[in-house]
Structures are given as structure tokens and as C-alpha cells.
Amino acid sequence: MIVLKDEILEKLIYFTEEEMNNLNGMETIDKSIFIDEDSHIIDCYKLLEEHQQLGVRKHTRFIEYPMHKHNYIELMYVYGGSMTHIINEQQITIYEGELLLLNQNIEHSIEYCHENDIIFNFIIKPEFLEFLSHMAEEENDVFHFIFSSLYSYDNDGEFLIFKLQDNELIQSYIESLITTIYEPQINNSLEQKLLVGLLLTELMKHPEYIETYQANSYEKLISSTILKYIACSYQEGSLAVLSDQLHLPDYKVCKIIKKQTGQTFKQLVQNERLKNAVHLLKSTHLPVTDIMLEVGYENMTYFYKIFKNEFQMTPHVYREKYSCFAK
């Protein structure tokens, strides 16, 4: 849980001039400040100074933000209350302790935020990722998701939601970032850059904190990794080892596999083993017993049973019929 100084907490609740105007019925958004004429794309080069790669600000309450896009990466952290977005005609609500990560060019609107809805926006120029890429200790699936989807203009509707209540390190980074807004120092810009880099790097280490995501991109990326693992490790591969490599619980891996392939992990492994058994039967003179062991089975009766169920014939008959050496 983030613990802020009392004076900072007072500033969080304090109504800004813009929020007072919203409450007094003057809720108009001056688009010229951050959007080019005849455009609904928010321009980070209007929001930030040329030398700035990122910015942090408190989200303005008491107003709805109409459908828009932006040419930067955006993080929204809920310090208190909640926040609702409309993305691809779907209502996405994030709550206290959750962080929404949006790619550039995503189209979304933001619903009215009330007095107790305290949200912080992190505006990140794409070029900041060049800096961040050198900080990452390893390239895992979340790393590739962030850098492929968030750094590309070809992906629409990409987002991730992280539940961060239990990660004290990430909470400390966010606490420090909030403090830089209300207690700025001479090196404020450098400190914010470092903290956001540490925050994103830590998020990459913990895909298990992902609660919600745009399925088409993230799940396909994960499923391609799963299929690659099975193709390389079908003899002795296990769901436990795979889940550990993905940093995801078994049930999430199983859910993604079923949704993306229509099969279970066990079925995919069996298919890969039988595919390789067929290849060996057709292209080698190896005894069936050796082939069985080679592809990961130890019980001859079981191997014959699943082979016959799949191909409606025994391995011996299959070899006689399809072997490259058959006359």
C-alpha cells in the first residue's frame, strides 16, 4: 500500500482550477493545447517539452473525455477510487492499486471521474523505449509484447491491466513518482525517467500480475511460445516447467492453450509425439520400441493404443503402408 505524506495527500484531494471550472459547469476541453486542428489524436509533442521523454500528472476529474487516440504510450494508475474506459466498445474499469497500460494509437474514451477518484497519468514518448530496452535484464514475453505492440502504429486496441497491490517494490516506485509531482527537485526530470524505467522493467518481470488484457495480441504471443516449447521439449516437457518459464500459474497457461488451440496441453504434447513417431516410422529402420522411447513414451501398450486411436492402425501396419523404404 502506498503511504504518502499528509501534505501530499491534501494536494491530491485539492481541486485544481480546471476541476473547479468543470464543477461550475464550464467543462470544456481546450483541444488546441494538445490536439492538431481537425484531429482527435493527442500529440505528446504538444503536451511535453521537446527535451522531455515522459511526463507525470494527476488526471483531471469531473469531466468525460471523448473518444480519442494518442501518439504516445500511456499508463494510468489508480491511487484511489476507480476509472472507466471504453475500448473497442467494451467497458474497462480499473480500481485502486491497478495500473492500465495503453499502447499508442489505441482509441478510447474516459468516463466521468468523481471526487474520490484519484488517478495518475504517465505520458511516455515512444523513444523512451530505446532507453528502457537497455535496462531490461531479460527479454521475456511481456517484454516483447510491450516493445512490439506499444512501439508500433499497426496495433489497435492493445492494453494490459496489472494488479499491483501485493508488489511493494512497484508501489514504492509509484509513491516516489507521485512525490516528484508535489515536491519537485532540481533533477526532477531525470528522477522521473529513472523511476518510470524501473517501474516498467519491474512490470516486465511479473506477467503474473496481469489481470486483463487485449486477448488477440498477448494470448497469441504466449501461445506461440507454448507451441515452440512443445515442439522442442515434447519428450519430457511438463506443464509445470512451461508455466515456470512463462512466469504464469498453470491454470492461466491451460486457459490460454484451450482458447487459442481448442486443445489441452496434454493433447498438444501427444500430437507432437505422434507426429515425430510417424516421421521416424516413415524415414528410419528404427524398431518401434526405440521410436516409442525416442518420442517420450515408456509403455508399449499405451503407445499402441493412442497410435491406433489416431491413425486407425498399429505402428507396424503404418510403417508397412507408408515407409519410404516400402516397395
Give the pLDDT confidence of 81-118 residue by residue, as tens digits: 999 999 888 899 999 999 999 887 788 999 999 999 99
Beta-bridge mates of residue 82: 95
Residue, of 40 and 74, whose pLDDT is higher? 74
Task: Work out the burial of residue 256: count CB atoms within 10 Å of its CB; fewer than 13 is exposed, 13-18 middle, 19 or more buried.
Answer: buried
- Interval 40-54: pLDDT, tens: 788 888 888 878 889
Task: Work out the burial of residue 137: count CB atoms within 10 Å of its CB; fewer than 13 is exposed, 13-18 middle, 19 or more buried.
Answer: exposed
Decide: 234 and 296 in contact? Cβ < 8 Å.
yes
The dihedral built from the CA positions of residue 241, 211, 109 and 16, taken in this order, carries a sign that is negative
0.85 surpassed by pTM: no
User: What pLDDT, on a 0 to 100 scale, did the predictor assign at position 25?
Assistant: 87
Architecture of domain 6-213: Sandwich (2.60)
Closest CA to 207 of 79, 101, 127: 101
User: What pLDDT, on a 0 to 100 scale, did the predictor assign at position 26?
Assistant: 83
Q: How far apart are CA 102 and CA 263, in angstroms?
A: 31
104-113, 167-176, 201-210, 313-322: range with lowest mean pLDDT: 201-210
Q: How far apart are CA 132 and CA 53, in angstroms?
A: 11
Domain ranges of the chain: 6-213, 217-262, 267-322
Decide: 204 and 142 in contact? Cβ < 8 Å.
yes
Number of H helices, E strands in the chain: 14, 11
Give me the phi and psi of 161, to 5 degrees please: -120, 125
With b for 16 or more beta-carbon neighbours within 10 A and e for fewer, the 157-166 pattern comes to bbbbbbbbee
User: What pLDDT, on a 0 to 100 scale, did the predictor assign at position 36?
Assistant: 65
User: What pLDDT, on a 0 to 100 scale, did the predictor assign at position 150?
Assistant: 53
Closest CA to 200 of 274, 132, 251, 253: 132
Span 267-322: which CATH code? 1.10.10.60
Place of cell 512525490: 179
